[in-house]
Amino acid sequence: MLLCVSSSHKNAPFSLLEGLSGAADAARTLTSRNEFFSGAVVVATCNRFEAYLDVRQPEGSDPRLAVVAAWQAVCAHTGVEYEDLKTGSAVYVGDAAAQHLFSVTAGLESLVVGETEISGQVANALEHAREIGTTTSDLERLFQTAAKTSRDVKNQTKLGRMGRSIVQLALDLSDSRIVDWSKLRVLLVGTGQYARVTVAALKTRGVTDIAVHSASGRAEHFAEMRELRAVRPERLTHELACADLIVTCTTSPHTVIDAALLRASRTEAAHTGVSPTAVDATVSDSEATGCPFDHGSVGSVAAVPNLPARQLVIDLGMPRNVAVDVTDLPEVELLDLETIKLHAPLSELRSSDDARSLVDEAAQSFHQQRNQQRVGRGLAQLKAMFFDKLDAEIERSRRHEPSQANTEKALHHLVGVLLNTSMQRSRDLAAEDRPHDFVDALEALYGIQADMPDEDAETCGRCPIAHELLGPHTHRADDDGSLRSVS
């Protein structure tokens, strides 16, 4: 049985999602509960946690014990509170789990409907499950179908062609604050899942001055591959002070930038001196045509020469990379995921409807494939039983001289052997008051429609009349206690 436990921006607070965002390895903990789960694939992103589980239970059975076990395992792995996870998650079982994954992978359940990163994140989750050995054949088929559905949505609907990423939306929201992207000095903190997309989106807008810093030491390689400037740890405060735009996208469990760090960076830069930035922050509003920011009513003169008068900080990290106290600084504006969520636009209804139709079709097809697999296993057992009986009959016939009469006798005997199990089951089902099960099976397997007596007719065994001749009828007791039929 397939089971999905899902927490996202739709049903969980960001505080819970922060606690779950680093749980990509939770699949190990889940499959350690092997009395319930034979496999697990976990999708953990900045605004979504999904655990897809292959449960050791037949379809249609009660999943509640497995759901509780999943919640407990996730809590043990992440440290989140059980009641928080219970109230902040949705549960999908069987076909509903498959349909939910297809919808998620297509971008229909994202913070920004149609965003492009999620399909890659789902693919990475499957690859990670393969590496740690927690996937199963059923989960493989599920996720491969999800990948195909995502491609179909992308290629066949406007949602796929026009889908905007969280990064693109964040930069779109910044447009009103930035006059000239080409003169912007940008510091990228982190090389996490949004870093590559951020660099591409910034370059598309004409940004050329991009520096990257990573506490993990991956900045050099990341920068070299994309022709960026790598920032050494000792130069971080300088870059923080000089950047017009700071974008964070690390996987750090703690904040990496706060008000104290930004204030100290500007103070240090003021004492040591800084090289001119892409923004001449000393010009007045009337002369600010070369400044990348729309100064508005905030003021146009920075406290420190050659430092930007205003800084925009975009926090794409989950857990939060930037402490909210940076907004206490008059020159800093913060744009985080919660703010982005408030501005996430609705997709075009037609595009969304077309995409959901494709998801529905994929879910129905996946349901049919699973049914065929279940039937296939039973059919294989039926064929094996028939051929075993055939082999036994061939072996028995070899003890007799070959002749037409013996061949006919052997064939009649084979038919009797094949019917024997069905006849015995029919008697057993009749004794259990389940004759309709047998009749329904005949129609389902062989198309045989066997008429059943009218259920309303009271045809008890005491009635002396031959039912085969008169058909269904009821009986009535006369005053003397004798029975007579009433047709």
Do 334 and 322 touch, CB atoms closer than 8 A? yes
> What is the three-class DSSP state of 387?
helix
**Residue carrying structure tokens 């008051």:** 433
Radius of gyration for the alpha carbons in the chain, expressed in angstroms and rounded: 35
Q: How far apart are CA 1 and CA 9, in angstroms?
A: 26
Q: How far apart are CA 434 and CA 431, in angstroms?
A: 7
Q: In what order do the strands lie in the sheet with 37-45?
A: 37-45, 48-55, 2-8, 90-93
Q: Break the chain down into helix, strand, coil percent, rounded to 5.
A: 50, 15, 35
User: Residue 28 is encoded by which pair of tokens?
Assistant: 């190990």
**Residue carrying structure tokens 């198309």:** 447
> What is the three-class DSSP state of 247?
strand
Q: How far apart are CA 20 and CA 5, in angstroms?
A: 12
Q: How far apart are CA 32 and CA 34, in angstroms?
A: 5
Q: Is 113 left (phi over 0), alpha (psi -120 to 50) or beta?
A: beta
Q: How far apart are CA 300 and CA 332, in angstroms?
A: 13
Active site residues: 46
